[in-house]
Structure 1
Amino acid sequence: MHIGYARVSTQDQNTDLQLDALKQAGCEQVFHEKKTGSTLQRTELDACLRALRKGDTLIVWRLDRLGRSLKDLVEIVNGLEEREIGFKSLTESIDTTSAGGRLVFHLFGALAEFERNLISDRTKAGLAAARARGRKGGRKPKMTAADIKKAAAMLKDPSITKTEVAKHFGVSRVTLNASLTREGYPANPAQL
């Protein structure tokens, strides 16, 4: 059985072009939805994947209609392949029911993995270079060393609570405690 899936990203777009192409390709059932590709929950795609059985073929108009990214696309098609379900993309002329189509798709998968590795390597190199220049990663601390020194001085007064000090500096008590600890002050005001 040929089952189609069509998707457009916004409500003002329509799936007519895709639906016509899928019907012309022989799809007996077509699932379609209007959701952006970045949306994690695509209910019609989930229903489509559940409807597919061994020996069926999933057909899409274009590759980008199915997956949010190349990695996502490869995972979906690999899942289909494990279930012995074929995949066709009409625009790119990819057909995993043929040996040539499987080869092309595996090349896509290899390129996606290569791209992920390159991004990871560049990120690691960038972090190492930043560390070599004395920069630390992560978010800038909410409290400066001078703020922490003032907070510690304020906390020496037993009539001032940690909540009041935290509010004065515009931070939470947790942030205040972490900041005090980072600068070597005890988190317990009685020990100041």
Structure 2
Amino acid sequence: MKKIGYIRVSTAEQNLERQKQQLEKVGMDKIYEEKVSAANMDRLELQKMLNEVKEGDIIYVTDLTRITRSTKDLFALIDILKEKNVNLKSLKDTWLDLSTDNPYSQFLITIMAGVNQLERDLIRMRQREGIEIAKREGKYKGRVKKYHNNHAGMNYAVELYNKGEMTVNRICEITNISRASLYRKLKEISIKFKIDKTSNNH
């Protein structure tokens, strides 16, 4: 069992030292550091940590906002860690404990999951209403492409796929990318490679 730390600030100008000192008081075997926004889970050091942690390890953060910024991402993270039998602890949010020894923590997670589902349903409802209004006004332009060329999570998924060391299911679990999206991206890359190769041969 190892104690793994994860510390993060939103910009390069901010300092990680305070978080590092707090975790080092607990005693860490390794600390992953990141200077990037937590708007989504597509953070390279976070994904690297999730790929490297082993069964029985405990991930420590100073508070949950360092590792996630939404309940949706928190539950996705919890699902990944539970499957790997890895615990997550926050120095600030002391109620959180993924082990079976803490039924109170599991109760709170269940309640939060219900609230999160309600929040998603309300967002989808508002989106549908907004789309209908936009269509009536002739302003609806369709869906914006989600996975652009510089999308960190997708690029990491493609990198893991090319290494050939794990299944597609595992890659999608680690990167939070759907199978369909990954296969579409791989197809795009394959087509582009064939076009480039043909162009170079002429």
Q: 1:57 corresponds to which residue?
A: 58
Percent of aligned pairs sharing the same letter: 30
Q: 2:45 corresponds to which residue?
A: 44
- What are the superposed Cα offsets for residues 67-94 of structure 1, whole Å, 9 maximum, x if unpaired? 2422112101111011111111211212
CA distance in 2, matches of 1:22, 1:109: 28
Q: Could you tell me which runs of 5 or more consecutive residues in structure 1 were left unpaired when the two chains were aligned.
A: 140-192
Q: 1:122 corresponds to which residue?
A: 126
- SS of residue matched to 1:95: coil
CA pair 21-107 structure 1, distance change in 2 beyond 3 A: farther
CA distance in 1, matches of 2:11, 2:60: 21
Q: 1:166 corresponds to which residue?
A: none
Query: In the alignment, is residue 103 of structure 1 matched against residue 104 of structure 2?
Result: no
Residue 98 of structure 2 aligns to which amino acid in structure 1? T
CA distance in 1, matches of 2:75, 2:112: 8
CA distance in 2, matches of 1:100, 1:39: 28
CA distance in 2, matches of 1:92, 1:3: 17
Q: 1:25 corresponds to which residue?
A: 26
Q: 1:16 corresponds to which residue?
A: 17
CA distance in 1, matches of 2:27, 2:131: 51
CA distance in 2, matches of 1:103, 1:53: 26
CA pair 138-80 structure 1, distance change in 2 beyond 3 A: same
Q: 2:193 corresponds to which residue?
A: none
TM superposition outliers: structure 1 runs of 4+ over 6 Å: none
- What are the superposed Cα offsets for residues 138-190 of structure 1, whole Å, 9 maximum, x if unpaired? 14xxxxxxxxxxxxxxxxxxxxxxxxxxxxxxxxxxxxxxxxxxxxxxxxxxx
1:73-88 pair list within 5 angstroms: 73-88=74-89
CA distance in 2, matches of 1:109, 1:89: 18
Q: 2:140 corresponds to which residue?
A: 138
CA pair 128-71 structure 1, distance change in 2 beyond 3 A: same
- The structure whose RCO (Cα within 8 Å, separation 6+) is larger is 2
- Cα RMSD for the two superposed structures: 2.2
For residue 60 of structure 1, report the CA deviation from its aligned partner. 1.1
Is 1:96–1:105's contact at 8 Å kept on the other side of the alignment? no
Q: Could you tell me which runs of 5 or more consecutive residues in structure 2 were left unpaired when the two chains were aligned.
A: 142-202
- SS of residue matched to 2:28: coil
CA distance in 2, matches of 1:50, 1:130: 42
CA distance in 2, matches of 1:47, 1:80: 13
Residue 21 of structure 1 aligns to which amino acid in structure 2? Q
CA distance in 2, matches of 1:19, 1:39: 22
Rg larger in 1 or in 2?
1
**Aligned pairs, number:** 137
CA pair 120-30 structure 1, distance change in 2 beyond 3 A: same
CA pair 135-77 structure 1, distance change in 2 beyond 3 A: same
CA pair 27-103 structure 1, distance change in 2 beyond 3 A: farther
Q: 2:149 corresponds to which residue?
A: none
